Structure 1
Amino acid sequence: MALKEVVAKNLRRARHDKRMTQKELADRAGLSSRYIGAIERTDVSASVTVLDQIADALEVEPTELLQRPGRKS
């Protein structure tokens, strides 16, 4: 699985776990909801700076967004 697919799945899961909409996450992260959606659809690859903003908004460690399924950090 490509890393941007891993990020997309982990982002969507973390956002759902926090019961957040894309708009709410975008507002907290200082990004557009269209950009959040594009990351979740794997249309774009997020920079490490953006991943840090998203992780802060979700109150998770950035590594949670990068962790491949079945692996522990």
Structure 2
Amino acid sequence: MADWFDRAQALEQRERDLAIAAQLAKPRPAGESRSLCLCCKQPIPPARQALGGILRCVPCQTTFEQGKR
């Protein structure tokens, strides 16, 4: 018999799975990455450039995404 804790865990897992699926469904940037950030002109680390389609450094991208909300 499932108790309240088991039901809570199942609900949490379902919500986590939905959140992950929503993130994976978002379009990913594609194409060539910039070597300098579009906003601050600082170099973008090579590991980040390897993702493809990167235009901004992490701090500038964070600010950009927060501005969209």
Q: TM-score, normalised by structure 2?
A: 0.27
State the structure with more CA Rg: 2
Q: Which has the higher contact order (CA 8 A, sep 6+)?
A: 1
Task: Please identify which structure carries the higher helix content.
Answer: 1
